[in-house]
Structure 1
Amino acid sequence: MTSVDVAITTRPSATCDADLAKGPWEFDLSPGYGPGASEDDVIPDPVTRPGQLPTAYQRMSEDELHERIRNTKKALGDKLVILGHFYQRDEVVQYADFVGDSFQLANAALTKPDAETIVFCGVHFMAETADILARPEQRVILPNLAAGCSMADMADEDSVESAWEDLMELYGDEPDADGRQPVIPVTYMNSSAALKAFCGRHGGIVCTSSNASTVLEWAFERGQRVLFFPDQHLGRNTAKAMGIGLDQMPMWNPRKPLGGNTEEVLRDAKVLLWHGFCSVHKRFTVDQIEQARAEHPGVRVIVHPECPMPVVDAADESGSTDYIRKAIEGGRPGDVFAIGTEINMVNRLQAEHPEMTIFCLDPVICPCSTMYRIHPGYLAWTLDGLLEGEVRNQIVVADDVATDAKVALERMLAALPAGTK
């Protein structure tokens, strides 16, 4: 039984979508993000990242797929490095040379300069980032090209460029008396290479959930205000923790003139929040936290900062996936944790720490529908291709985009999370 099977059958009366147990190739060519996705997700049209797993691999048994992966990985040796995000299913993440969050994996890719191929078991924007940071002769593979990110797709290049033009017309482009620019663009790692390049061109930076506060401090040293995209919740929670008032954080809706704001509101703004979100973390609620506390007195509630602000406020703590992992590793036998993040990671933490009780706040088990697209079948197929001299599903960022994006990413890598030595 796979980790996805376990996830959706744990509480069958409260299942997100039974289709999650099917092979993801059944949905790769369909519009949308597949089973488990939020009904609020913006569906890209046309679908730009189709899957292409050959039928032979769809029909292989689990044992055969895993044998192929093990043998090919061994044959390729140091020529190959596999990166796996925390949210990946267990059947895939077991083969990763590095497992981590976006910030950690961006750094991990740099530690293997001799590897000819980087296989990124994550989603599209992560593979793009690896390609940007890799040496020119290194190749980056995304096992399933349909593994996108609904949040990343909520901020497209045209919409951000249009918003920037409106803001420049309103604010002008002259610095203040302290030399700070009118606005600094900050994009979350969960965004396209084109938007990272946009930030590089306009004096901006990329952030992750690990270093978001450090990045905002960096931005305010250089700018009077920040345009933060695509995740409104990470931006709001981070800025609020820094003491910025909610009245100074208007939402920018790209479908409305001036983002749905008046000029007066925008002039008083400190952080302009893009109308985007993570469909997984949006599912968590204050009611779920209250129920966890009622059922488990003394429970420690930790949520990801992509959760809505009321959820973060009601929790005991919030932090990145690595923060959550470290918090649990620092726990004691008998401790009880209620976690607000993706279910594959939560289940893995419980398996690794049977001496504690660790459970997901959301009773409706719902893996990230796009991370779920990475399946052992795709990993086996792309690795077999390397042995056959064929690079399958290579991710290549155009040189002009990569140059500007790398500027913003290098600023991100230099902005170490608080407490990091």
Structure 2
Amino acid sequence: MEVLDILEIDSEVTLPDRYNQLSTQEMEDRIREIKAKFGERLFIPGHHYQKDEVIQFADVRGDSLKLAQICTAKPEADFIPFCGVHFMAETADMLTRPDQKVILPDMRAGCSMADMADIDQTESGWEVMQEVFGDTILPLTYVNSTASIKGFVGKHGGATVTSSNAKKMLEWAFTQKERILFLPDQHLGRNTAYDLGIPLEQMAVWAPIEEEFEYEGDFDDVKVILWKGHCSVHEKFNVKHIENLRKQEPDMNILVHPECTFDVVQASDYDGSTSFIINTIESADPGTKWAIGTEMNLVNRLAQENPDKKIVSLNPFMCPCLTMNRIDLSHLLWSLEKLEQGEVVNQITVPEEVAEHAVLALNRMLDRS
């Protein structure tokens, strides 16, 4: 288990073996029993990318920020087992009361994108950027980032963004400073900035491992600095997938998430957030065909829930998000049985000094949403 420096965790490294001996039916029955026993004291949010075996027990499903916000509206919930990944649980912890306990059923449920920007790299890179550009940069971070990165952004006057409001937040940021640093997903930053009319030639990439810019132009022309991070799921879609589908089924609509690469977004018919994808499919005419470029669990669920449309993955060989799929029936049951025994495991607690600035970044976004 990776122990994150901003978390205070009481956790067991290995799932007790007895959970591997239980049948699916036994685990499902026990989870229902515990949920009924705790009632409103237990609230389980589930991210759209979770497995069906887990999402069936979610009291609400949604994207990361929506789920965290809903948690704040559940004052009766003492325990919040968050079926998602660690940065989502962090946000829920920061937005809920101190006495409410947010739990991550499996501490291995991380996010490769969020892990591509750690606080040491960010502070080091920021020093270089200040030397090159002076005090002309406002940092923005995708909500798919660690609490420490949100705290860094908040401390320096910036805000968080979601894939739904990224355009609005970039517009706001440009009223504050001449340039923007966008963390940690370069693709969402690039696609959004381009939609605002900023040419690719005015976007530089900061490579944190090499500690250098990937840019060949004049630094005076740079408007957006993109952190060299990405989503390992959405980078698996490419233009060849689109070209092949258009040859096979010309009437297929291509719908992708803006975490996909620039060329994929430009070649698609529609792009938008997870909520946009869900709403587009649900409101689409019966008989229409859709190839969707996002996480496979969600694509499969949309196909099941919309049988009047043909829905496939843009990449037929796509796998679900591996870290998101760390949360399974056995880990969910284990965390709930521990609660039943009076023990809280895998509690996510963001230190107050980090949370203070991170909530500033979140609130600057929420005030404009």
**Shorter-normalised TM-score: what interval?**
over 0.9
Tell me the residue number matched to 2:5.
Answer: none
- 8 A Cα contact 2:50 2:324, kept in partner: yes
SS in 2 for 1:250: strand
- 8 A Cα contact 1:303 1:319, kept in partner: yes
- Per-residue displacement from partner, 1:312-348 (whole Å, max 9, x unpaired)? 0000010011100000010121111100000000000
> Percent identical across equivalent pairs?
51
SS in 2 for 1:121: coil
Alignment partner for residue 306 of structure 1, among 236, 259, 278? 259
Alignment partner for residue 167 of structure 2, among 206, 209, 213? 213
Alignment partner for residue 325 of structure 2, among 355, 372, 387? 372
Size of the aligned set, in residue pairs, is 361
Is 1:93 equivalent to 2:55 in the alignment?
yes
Q: 2: distance between equivalents of 1:284 and 1:250? A: 23
In structure 2, stretches of 5+ residues that fail to align are 3-10
Tell me the residue number matched to 1:66.
Answer: 28
- 8 A Cα contact 2:54 2:327, kept in partner: yes
Q: TM-score, normalised by structure 1?
A: 0.83
> For residue 32 of structure 2, what is the amino acid of its counterpart?
R
Is 1:402 equivalent to 2:345 in the alignment?
no
Q: 1: distance between equivalents of 2:268 and 2:169? A: 23
Cα separation, partners in 2 of 1:261 and 1:292, compared to 1, 3 Å: closer
- Per-residue displacement from partner, 1:105-137 (whole Å, max 9, x unpaired)? 132122212211111100010001100111111
Q: 2: distance between equivalents of 1:109 and 1:217? A: 29
In structure 1, stretches of 5+ residues that fail to align are 1-28, 32-48, 174-181, 417-421
SS in 1 for 2:213: helix
Task: Give 1:170 deviation, angstroms.
Answer: 2.5
Q: 2: distance between equivalents of 1:196 and 1:51? A: 27
> For residue 53 of structure 1, what is the amino acid of its counterpart?
L
Alignment partner for residue 273 of structure 2, among 310, 320, 340? 320
Tell me the residue number matched to 1:135.
Answer: 97
Q: How does 1:22-421 map to 2 (within 5 A)?
A: 51-173=13-135, 182-261=136-215, 265-416=218-369
- Per-residue displacement from partner, 1:174-224 (whole Å, max 9, x unpaired)? xxxxxxxx1111111111110000011000111111111111112111111
- 8 A Cα contact 1:205 1:412, kept in partner: yes
Task: Give 1:50 deviation, angstroms.
Answer: 8.0
- The answer to which of 113-122 and 301-310 deviates more is 113-122
Tell me the residue number matched to 1:11.
Answer: none
- 8 A Cα contact 2:109 2:326, kept in partner: yes
Q: 2: distance between equivalents of 1:224 and 1:58? A: 55
- 8 A Cα contact 2:42 2:78, kept in partner: yes
Q: 2: distance between equivalents of 1:141 and 1:411? A: 26
Task: Give 1:266 deviation, angstroms.
Answer: 3.1
SS in 1 for 2:174: helix
Q: 1: distance between equivalents of 2:215 and 2:235? A: 24
Q: TM-score, normalised by structure 2?
A: 0.95
> For residue 245 of structure 2, what is the amino acid of its counterpart?
A
> For residue 279 of structure 1, what is the amino acid of its counterpart?
S
Task: Give 1:103 deviation, angstroms.
Answer: 2.8
- 8 A Cα contact 2:257 2:273, kept in partner: yes
Q: 2: distance between equivalents of 1:343 and 1:51? A: 28
Q: 2: distance between equivalents of 1:217 and 1:189? A: 17
Task: Give 1:261 deviation, angstroms.
Answer: 4.5
